[in-house]
Amino acid sequence: MPPIARAHSEYLERLQTQLEAHLRRSIPAGEPELLYAPAHYVLEAGGKRLRPLLLLLACEACGGRAEQALPAAVAMELFHTFTLVHDDIMDRSPTRRGRPTVHVRWGLEAAILTGDLLMGTSYFELSRVPETDIRPLLACLHEVMLRLCEGQTLDKQFETRQDVSPHEYWDMVDRKTGALLAGALEIGARLGSASEAQIVLFRAIGRALGRAFQLQDDWLDLAADPENWGKPIGQDVLEGKRTYLLLSALERAAEEADRRLLRRVLARQATPEDVPRVRALYERLGVFEEVRSLTIGYYAEAQSAVRTLPPSQASAALEALLDSLVGRVR
């Protein structure tokens, strides 16, 4: 990943410092410990905080102040973290960011309640945005919730289907991944008094980023360094996830042995020994290179839209942040 220029880096670090301070205060250290300890555990696990940072940058790029938007930024991070806790339950994931998931460490019931607490607190934090009519913001977050739940439902349904098309895959990604990114950018833009044209622009940026992020996540599931990935390599293969890599490989594979291997993945019958075989097949069929090219293209689409914003420190930092992200796949 290329380094971000010092001026942009210092600006982003300042926003992140403010965000972290507010985020730590959002969940009390109360009783019962079985409820509050897991919530602090997942928030302290770190992460890039991209969604709240995007919200703050969109706000300032449209003439607003990050300080006013901090509760909304915290709301988006809490909401995102809630989705991760519940996703880990549904996917039976043993680790997240290199640590045991909440349901592994504290049990299924505690994990469900932790997610509920995080989601409820996200709405409360959004209500704390000062001097603002929060009704459009609440409507936006509610729309995000609907689209995200739809996307997750489709993703789970796809695991038992043999005929998922690329069009259906992209529709699922736009809901499951793109909606939250677009929602964060839209809420930030609204807090900066953006025009309707700018709001549409930020939604498009979020959609493009959602596609890039999902492709990158699908690719890293097989290509990441196991020491840095934070969860088992090849989990999508073992769970039969209908990733773009799998769908593209099914279209390209001509040899019967290759198709048998892919059919085992589709039937959720792949074993840990199959994971390196699937990776080698994707490399041989050119699927990894295709996904890399698509990912760079979607990042470029988002960057091109950002360049149409009025010049400012925030818009320049946003472009630099996106450039650092695309550097992971160049």
Q: What is the predicted pLDDT for the residue at 260? A: 96
CA distance 209 to 116: 27
Structure confidence at residue 330 (pLDDT)? 57
State the pLDDT at residue 29.
86
Q: Give the pLDDT of residue 232.
A: 77
- Over residues 122-175, the pLDDT tens digits come to 999 999 999 889 999 999 999 999 999 999 999 999 988 888 999 999 999 999
Q: Which helix (H) or strand (E) holds 243?
A: none
Other C-beta atoms within 10 Å of 326: how many? 20
For the residues of 9-62, what is the DSSP string, one character each?
A: HHHHHHHHHHHHHHHHHHS---S-HHHHHHHHHHHTT----HHHHHHHHHHHHT
Report whether 85 contacts 110 (CB < 8 A). Answer: no
Concatenate the DSSP letters of all residues of 164-217 into one string. --HHHHHHHHIIIIIHHHHHHHHHHHHHTT--HHHHHHHHHHHHHHHHHHHHHH
Which tens digit of pLDDT belongs to each residue from 218-254?
999 998 877 666 677 898 999 899 999 999 999 999 9
Kindly report the average pLDDT of the chain as a whole number.
Answer: 93
Sorting pLDDT into bands at 50, 70 and 90, what band is 49? very high
Q: Are 246 and 265 in contact (CB under 8 A)?
A: yes
Closest Cα partner for 186 from 151, 217, 143, 152?
143
Q: How far apart are alpha carbons 74 and 79 in whole angstroms?
A: 9
Phi, psi of 211 (to 5 degrees): -65, -45
Task: Summarize the confidence of residues 53-67 as an average pLDDT.
Answer: 97
Residue 1 above 60 pLDDT? no
Confidence tier at 119 by pLDDT (50, 70, 90): very high
CB of 285 within 8 A of CB of 249?
yes
**Global confidence as pTM:** 0.92
